[in-house]
């Protein structure tokens, strides 16, 4: 292990901090797997005595990987959501200056895992529960100005970051060769079209990574709770639904996705018209899932190829969304052609 590793000595740090926050000694530390984020590690800590028996140590330090933008700390957003009765992990202590949060251990039953063994009725109930969180998030406001999420937006700069990631890490995979500057320009022009539409939409609080791996069924009570909150920002009303219903980890049938989306659309604070909602849903799918496709290949290049199993479905979302919105817009049509016209038609 390098002496420059920001996580060097983390076991000793956690031992001291856990004792100070809980009054119990640390019995065991287990490093939990992640999605290749070098700057954020998670540990399950088992205590020798008392309650809770375990907790999660979230340690955020070091520099994000190339292309990953810095994000605000977990607090005060977590507390703000908890105050508004949104299901999030309880905070048991921590040391903000050292980038450590000690959080409730929700368990390992993510929505992605739950639906693997769920029957149709259970699956429908789980997704309805998850979808019901979206309008609740979007009704929140922060007149105090203390929560950084309300000062962040899915703006042109952020959409351009997604374009850059896809143009440099995703597009060459699709093409099977290096992309030319003109081909990269097609990506940037299409994403700029999305950014313009997104910028004129209502702006509501979005989790920003509201997908099945970030919804964990709490043990008591058995409700879905949100994790990985720190990237929250203001975005069009469709954004979190794109993350959930066009999830790389759980692929929903089109009719199931459409029924859930329509159920939520009418409950949103802004209740967009159906055609406007559908168009923005597809446009945001293009930028979000293209970025995810690039991310899976970036993580694979750093040594974890397991994430590549999610890449085909992810690219499929992009192609099908382009097939729907491309005919009405030249820049989107050019991207559709670049990514494969026949595949888009499927």
**What would the pLDDT profile of 44-67 be if each residue is shown by its tens digit?**
999 999 889 999 999 988 676 666
CA 121 to chain centre: 26
Give pLDDT tens digits for 143-177.
Answer: 999 999 999 999 999 999 999 999 999 999 999 99
Of 241-245, 272-276, 337-341, where does mean pLDDT reach its minimum?
A: 337-341
Looking at residue 136, what is its pLDDT?
A: 98
Looking at residue 2, what is its pLDDT?
A: 45
Would you say 237 and 270 are in contact if contact means Cβ atoms under 8 Å apart? yes
- Per the prediction, the chain carries an average pLDDT of 92
Give pLDDT tens digits for 277-330.
Answer: 999 999 999 999 999 999 999 989 988 899 999 999 999 999 999 999 999 999
Give percent above pLDDT 90 in the chain.
84
Would you say 91 and 79 are in contact if contact means Cβ atoms under 8 Å apart? yes
Residues paired with residue 102 on neighbouring β-strands, in sequence order: 57, 93
Angle ∠(141,131,147) on CA atoms, nearest 5: 25
Domains, the chain, in order of start with CATH, read 10-104 (3.30.200), 111-345 (3.90.1200.10)
pTM above the 0.85 mark?
yes
Looking at residue 50, what is its pLDDT?
A: 87
Looking at residue 56, what is its pLDDT?
A: 96
Quick check: 36 pLDDT over 70?
no
């Amino acid at each position: 292990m390098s002496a420059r590793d920001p996580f060097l000595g983390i076991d000793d740090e956690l031992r001291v901090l856990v004792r100070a926050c809980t009054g119990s000694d640390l019995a065991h530390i287990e490093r939990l797997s992640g999605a290749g984020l070098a700057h954020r590690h998670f540990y399950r800590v088992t205590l020798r005595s008392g309650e809770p028996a375990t907790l999660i140590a979230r340690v955020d330090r070091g520099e994000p990987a190339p292309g990953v933008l810095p994000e605000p700390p977990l607090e005060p957003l977590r507390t703000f959501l908890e105050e508004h009765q949104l299901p999030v992990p309880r905070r048991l202590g921590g040391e903000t200056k050292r980038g450590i949060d000690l959080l409730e251990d929700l368990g390992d039953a993510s929505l992605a895992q739950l639906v693997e063994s769920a029957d149709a009725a259970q699956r429908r109930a789980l997704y309805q529960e998850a979808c019901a969180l979206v309008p609740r998030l979007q009704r929140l406001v922060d007149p105090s100005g203390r929560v950084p999420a309300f000062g962040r937006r899915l703006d042109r700069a952020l959409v351009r970051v997604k374009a850059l990631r896809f143009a440099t890490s995703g597009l060459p995979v699709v093409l099977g060769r290096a992309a030319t500057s003109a081909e990269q320009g097609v990506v940037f022009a299409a994403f700029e079209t999305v950014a313009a539409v997104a910028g004129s939409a209502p702006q509501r609080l979005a989790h920003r990574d509201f997908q099945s791996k970030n919804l964990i069924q709490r043990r008591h009570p058995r409700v879905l709770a949100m994790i990985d909150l720190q990237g929250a920002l203001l975005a069009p009303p469709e954004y979190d639904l794109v993350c959930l219903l066009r999830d790389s980890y759980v692929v929903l049938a089109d009719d199931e996705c459409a029924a859930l989306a329509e159920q939520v659309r009418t409950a949103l604070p802004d209740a967009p018209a159906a055609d406007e909602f559908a168009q923005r849903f597809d446009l945001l799918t293009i930028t979000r899932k293209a970025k995810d496709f690039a991310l899976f290949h970036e993580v694979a290049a750093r040594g974890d190829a397991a994430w590549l199993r999610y890449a085909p479905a992810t690219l499929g979302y992009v192609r099908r969304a382009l097939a729907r919105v491309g005919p009405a817009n030249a820049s989107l049509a050019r991207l559709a052609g670049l990514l494969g016209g026949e595949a888009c038609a499927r």
